[in-house]
Amino acid sequence: MNFKRFTLLTIIFLFTLTSMNQNSEACTSILVTKGASKNNSTMISYSCDGEFHPHLRIIPAADHKKGEMIEIRNWYGKNGKIPQVAHTYKVVGLMNEFQLAIGETTFEGRKELLNKQGLFNYFTLMITALQRAKTARQAIKVITSLVDKYGYGSVGESISIADKHEVWILEIVGTGQGGKGAVWVAVKIPDGAVSAHANMSRIREFSTNDPENVIYSKNVISFAIKKGYYNPKKRKPFSFSEAYNPPSEEQVRYSSRRVWSIFRRAAPSLKITPDYSSYKRRAKPYPLYIKPDKKLCVRDVINLHRDHYENTEFDMTKDLSAGPFKAPDRWRPIKWKVNNKIHTWERPISTQQTALVFVSESRPNIPDEIGGIYWYGLDNPYTNFFVPFYTSITDLPHSYTTGTIKKFSKDSAWWAFNFVANYANLRWSYMIKDIQKIQNEIEDLEFKIQPVIEQTALNLLKKNPELVENFLTKYCVNNAEMNIEKWWKLGEFLITKYNDGYIQNENGRAKAVGYPEKWLKREIKENPKKFRLKEQRKGEGEL
């Protein structure tokens, strides 16, 4: 193996090791089929939530010599080599040059099914599939063939896979220490529907005689019977979720609440209740997919990721814990104990622990060089902005490829977003308006000029195709870096405007705004006499 390829694999491994060991099981994904999108594209989203600093990467396409091997290393010290294929495809983030995109959320499942001897963890499977597959079906075949041969070394995963025409969800679990292969099922999301998953298995009953829309491992039912997870004598339909990820109250509240909120916003007319996400008795689990009230665009999917359950009974800006300025972030641990009773905070779709988030857009009617867009954001999606990266680009903005969580740096895009998001918690109800103003300005302009950028690229593709990559690369890099500079200036503006508890007006004069009256009334209710002036209390006959 030459040094260049070894280094590339090492980078992938280190990214995996860093991100996946830092609480990254907390993720949210949305899947949108062609018939449910405004522009006939497929889309998947993936917020990778964990306390780590991501680096965006491009893995170039490459030809490989016959007999070449690549080294694979799992998270538990298991090493192995597998044969390389003759040609691997280019990958930008988690989307490849043929507009194939992959995301995931971890549902863990039954802990006894983890096989630390399995060679492939889920992230390595995703990257390898992107390098070797052009379609979702091919990606499923790559992933399942690799685990069948070399073993699966992760806990339960829900994996979103989208190409230019189809959207699939693949759920996979191991077979236990020393076991072979994996147990899995893949379901195609029907055209016109949207789906979502968030750290909980979503595939329940499925057809065993519909290979066009459902693919599964041979052992998916027999293994559950063998392990005692399913008893066919009870004459109940087999449910993958019930067998391999039996729900607990804690998991249902943590995970299903997010799916509910995505569905209730995408299809208000369905009036989907939060009952199941509240673990109410006899409440039915949410369907794997629904039909949205209206077709969605990329911005709709981005906005679905900006959610703290606002305007519902779970609105995180209205709890006492939100403080006087309605800050929705809740500091970990999410589960806590008071008077020997366990409580949990709500777990929203938008969270301060988000490291990266993307929405992929795969468009069948546009050439691959221009059709595939990786809309990418860092840190909390509620307080960040997304930038487009076309999958034909050859370079990335430096600020998106550098930095560490161990040291603050103005060279890092992640730190720009993280700084603004953290500072906003001091006076959220005021600062979020300033943040959203710049957020909308940036994204409004990006979507407004997108048709012009793409028409120029299409014209180049016809006349000077060799210039397309260069043109799109310069646009993507310059756009991202320009807007990161704007975000740093936003941070400086917030520090200046909201200084020492004052709020500066447009003339730069400090104004004492104080606390909301509603909050002050709460304070007085808790401490009716503590803050009263003695003279006033004397006049009222209290002294």
Q: Grade residue 10 by pLDDT with cuts at 50, 70 and 90.
A: very low
Residue holding tokens 């907390």? 26
Q: Which of 326, 304, 331 is nearest to 316 (CA)?
A: 326
Q: 4 pLDDT exceeds 60?
A: no
Q: 255 pLDDT exceeds 90?
A: yes
Check if the beta carbon of residue 125 is closer than 8 Å to that of residue 94.
no
Q: What percentage of the chain reaches a pLDDT higher than 70?
A: 94
pLDDT value of residue 528: 87
Give the separation between CA 354 and CA 348, rounded to whole angstroms: 11
Three-class DSSP category at 407: strand
Over residues 337-348, the mean pLDDT reads 94
Q: 414 pLDDT exceeds 50?
A: yes
C-alpha distances in angstroms, 443 versus 302, 321, 439?
Answer: 11, 31, 6
Whole-model pTM: value is 0.94
- Residue that wins the pLDDT comparison between 349 and 24: 349
CA–CA–CA angle 114, 186, 275 (5° rounding): 80
Strand partners, 83: 69
Q: Grade residue 506 by pLDDT with cuts at 50, 70 and 90.
A: confident
Express each pLDDT in 314-327 by its tens digit: 999 999 999 999 99
Check if the beta carbon of residue 357 is closer than 8 Å to that of residue 150.
no
Choice among 162-171, 445-454, 522-531 with the minimum mean pLDDT: 522-531
Express each pLDDT in 139-157 by its tens digit: 999 999 999 999 999 999 9
Q: What percentage of the chain reaches a pLDDT higher than 90?
A: 90
C-alpha distances in angstroms, 365 versus 58, 166, 299, 358?
Answer: 24, 14, 20, 22
- Whole-number average pLDDT of the chain: 93
pLDDT value of residue 532: 83
**What are the helix (H) ranges across 331-463?**
368-371, 413-424, 428-463
Q: Which of 148, 147, 173, 146 is nearest to 159 (CA)?
A: 173
pLDDT value of residue 540: 62
Q: Which of 194, 191, 188 is nearest to 211 (CA)?
A: 188
pLDDT value of residue 275: 98
Q: Grade residue 529 by pLDDT with cuts at 50, 70 and 90.
A: confident
- Please tell me the chain's helix, strand, coil percentages from 3-state DSSP, rounded to the nearest 5: 35, 20, 45
Express each pLDDT in 62-99 by its tens digit: 999 999 999 999 999 999 999 999 999 999 999 999 99
Q: Grade residue 267 by pLDDT with cuts at 50, 70 and 90.
A: very high
Over residues 246-254, the mean pLDDT reads 95
pLDDT value of residue 169: 98
